[in-house]
Amino acid sequence: MITKETIARINYLARKKKSIGLTPQEKKEQQQLRRQYIDSIKKQIVTNLDASGIPKKKHDANCSCGRKNKH
């Protein structure tokens, strides 16, 4: 779960990166926090879509979604 402190840290690192740059440790932390944030948002979207009752689309070999049968 993403907390206000996590978002504040993400924003702090973003501002610091623009102004004076980040240390290698801070760059790694920033990447980890961003990944955590993105994963959390994806999970929320999937949960909301599942709860909405919208059926998932079935794919077949002739699907035109562009995933080239990697379903």
pLDDT > 90? residue 32: yes
Q: Give the predicted TM-score (pTM) of the model.
A: 0.71
Around Cβ 26, how many Cβ atoms within 10 Å?
A: 14
State which amino acid sits at residue 10.
I
pLDDT > 80? residue 71: no
pLDDT > 80? residue 59: no
Q: Please tell me whether residue 14 adopts helix, strand or coil conformation.
A: helix
Domain boundaries, the chain: 4-52
- Give residue 3's pLDDT: 95
4-52 CATH choice from 1.10.1060.10, 3.40.1410.10, 2.60.40.1180, 1.10.287.540 = 1.10.287.540
Instruction: Give the model's confidence band at 42: pLDDT under 50 very low, under 70 low, under 90 confident, else very high.
Output: very high
Q: How far is CA 35 from the centre of its chain?
A: 6
**Residue with tokens 């979207």, as numbered in its chain:** 45
pLDDT > 60? residue 1: yes
